Amino acid sequence: MTKPFATVVDIAADIASGKTSAVEVLEQHLARITERESDIHAFNLVTTEQARATAQQVDADIKAGKPVGPLAGVPVALKDNMCTRGIETTCSSKILEGWKPPYDATVVTRLQQAGAVMVGKTNLDEFAMGSSTENSAFGPTKNPLDTSRVPGGSSGGSAAAVAAGFAAASLGSDTGGSIRQPASLCGLVGVKPTYGLVSRQGIVAFASSLDQVGPFTHTVADAALMMEVIGGHDPLDSTSLSQPMPSLTSVLGQGVKGMRIGRLADMPDGCEPEVLARMDAAYAALQAAGATIVDISLPSLSYCLTAYYLVAPAEASSNLARYDGVRYGLRVETGDLHSMYGATRAAGFGAEVKRRIMLGTYALSAGYFDAYYGKALKVRRLIANDFAAAYEKCDVILTPTSPTVAFPLGDKTSDPLTMYLCDIFTIPTNLAGHAAMSVPFGTGAYNMPVGVQVLAPALGEQTLFRVAAELERAS
Amino acid sequence: MSTPSSGSSPARITSEVVAKVAKLSSLHLSDAELALMTSQLSGMLDHFADIDKLDLSNVEPLAQPFPLKNVFREDVVVAGLDRDEVLAAAPAAEDGRFRVPPSLGLGEQ
């Protein structure tokens, strides 16, 4: 499949070799933003002036013969829940509107050190809670491939920015599918790394035991390069793994010969037939490349939705307690401290965030803890056990990323539960903390893209990327 | 405190409980929001009752993907955040500190 825009790998090579300049590449991307951003709304903020200054610096360094990083001059976009020093970081929430963090997230620092040029902060479902980017306090993002449809979420702005050619790559965060599902709906590669492989320092916390940062790109090779830049141990994140970041760019050509690919024997209902047809094609392609297909089962799969929608809101209710009108963001002035808290939070949070804070607080409260949060943690153990048993029989598991292609705006906003059902295939791997990614694999209904999800055990990124590269070659 | 229903009652959560949870969450909800929240949470809890049929008696809870261990560093002084930069982002600050409204002697105390 031909890609409509230049890749990260090509842009970096062409700038490093002097074939083009960082300024020229940036201006091409800014021109596309000028042309289409008013229709798409991928960004909460476009950082044009800072981007121009960074691109000029990259060009000056190259001209002076100084060594430059692997992403020198590559335009990237960041989900607006990643702290950028002195640059507004809102989480698409009124409660943080106008807040300028006093430090950079570790992933932001690593992108800067690699020479990337940040073009802006992208829209999201408020505090990353949603699957369509319709929960943003600043209005929804549209899918660049069909603007009557959602880009997915919660990292919908980051997906749309890459799909529309506003940036060559972007970063999102994935708590229950928030990178993989929008990648699938926008025809991109999206990676949810093993928990702890990429630093969470400076990422506004949603559910701390589930959140991970990862890239959106047009190609698997681009995703591998982005992962190598952002991944690896960070002493500032207490859950950061100590293992060195494995090389991913070097394994992409190794193929899948002899690999065992797990296929779900008990596929949940609700998948579009075109999505299932693409899955069959994906198994066939890997088989043709020398892999074996093995039927596996994850008996607890259907219970993951419940476990996730209790665990994630419980953690969120604790993490979001910090928005109290004291240290940053919005304050609604009232006579006394306690009513100021309640009034500020009532005015600052949107409906979905309030719902999840309430659900989480309820699940953790005295008298209900054992019945809800406690049980959810036990179901979390069951799915981890299911995966462990499955990975005895196979090296990776293939599922659809999303049961459907991108749906129309407004389609699922009236009933929160129907929106939650979008995440059925992506949630289990977050609960287990494993590696996963979505790879575009043709189109389904309405000619919209279908993503195949590849799941691997913890720190199985090399296997993951080998399978993804094979699927890309076959698509 | 009442215990949760076992699944036979028509509403899984009452508006009184929702109002109490709102207070615990420091969220002022309007009457309309309270009513909508009660019905939406009730619907979700109905769905979440699917795990009630699992036998979880011998299952250990899993709170974190991997075991957490304490992280130490050498006890050396490192630069912290710039105080003025941090306070500049606060809704109100005074004399190098965050300023808050009075917590006693006013309002709903």
What is the pTM (predicted TM-score) of this model?
0.96
Confidence of residue B10 (pLDDT cuts 50, 70, 90): low
Give CA torsion, residues A129, A133, A139, A142, to 10 deg.
180
Summarize the confidence of residues B10-18 as an average pLDDT. Answer: 85
Which residue in the list A79, A142, A192, A412 is annotated as catalytic?
A79
Out of A309, A324, A343, name the one closest to residue B48 (CB). A309
Out of B27, B62, B108, name the one closest to residue A377 (CB). B62
CA distance B9 to chain A (A): 16
* pLDDT tens per residue, range B48-93: 999 999 999 999 999 999 988 888 889 999 999 999 999 999 999 9
Look at residues A49, A47, A69, A48 and name the one whose alpha carbon lies nearest to residue A58.
A69
Confidence of residue B2 (pLDDT cuts 50, 70, 90): very low
Q: Which chain B positions have a beta carbon within 8 Å of A380's beta carbon?
A: 61-63
Domains of chain B (ranges, CATH numbers): 15-53 (1.10.20)
Look at residues A399, A401, A386 and name the one whose alpha carbon lies nearest to residue A432.
A386
Mutation target for B interface from A336, A414, A418, A421: give the one with most B CBs within 10 A.
A336
CB burial class (10 A; 0-12, 13-18, 19+) of residue B23?
middle
In angstroms, the CA B9 to CA B46 distance is 10
Predicted confidence at residue B1, as pLDDT, reads 36
| pLDDT higher than 80, residue B5 | no
DSSP A131: S
| pLDDT higher than 70, residue B45 | yes
Known catalytic membership, residue A93: no
Contact of A95 with A136, CB cutoff 8 Å: no
Least confident of A77-81, A442-446, B3-7, B40-44: B3-7
In angstroms, the CA A369 to CA A22 distance is 54
Domains of chain A (ranges, CATH numbers): 8-230 (3.90.1300.10)
β-strand pairing of A117-122 with A43-46: antiparallel
| pLDDT, mean of each 10-residue run, chain A (475 residues) | 82 97 98 98 98 98 96 98 98 97 97 98 98 98 98 98 98 98 98 98 98 98 98 96 96 98 93 97 98 97 95 98 97 94 98 97 94 97 98 98 97 89 95 98 98 98 98 96
Predicted confidence at residue B105, as pLDDT, reads 64
Known catalytic membership, residue A184: no
Q: What is the ipTM of this complex?
A: 0.91
- Crossing angle of helices A461-474 and A220-230, in 10° steps, is 160
Q: Are B50 and A302 in contact (CB < 8 Å)?
A: yes
Q: What is each CA distance from B47 to A202, A247, A369, B43, in whole angstroms?
A: 34, 43, 17, 6
Q: In this predicted model, which residue has the larger pLDDT, A125 or B103?
A: A125
Predicted confidence at residue A3, as pLDDT, reads 59
Q: Which chain A positions have a beta carbon within 8 Å of B33's beta carbon?
A: 354
Out of A101, A306, A345, name the one closest to residue B48 (CB). A306
Amino acid in position A455 = L
Q: What is each CA distance from A384 to A379, A431, A459, in whole angstroms?
A: 9, 7, 15
In angstroms, the CA A474 to CA A220 distance is 13
Give me A412's structure tokens.
């699922």
Mutation target for B interface from A100, A210, A306: give the one with most B CBs within 10 A.
A306
* pLDDT tens per residue, range A328-373: 999 999 989 999 999 999 999 999 999 999 999 999 999 999 999 9
Q: Are B44 and A372 in contact (CB < 8 Å)?
A: no
- For A59, other C-beta atoms within 10 Å of its C-beta total 22
Q: Which chain A positions have a beta carbon within 8 Å of B4's beta carbon?
A: 367-368, 371-372
Residue environment code for A301-328, b if the CB has 16+ CB neighbours within 10 A, otherwise e:
bebbbbbbbbbbbbbbbbbbeebbbbbb
Predicted confidence at residue B4, as pLDDT, reads 43
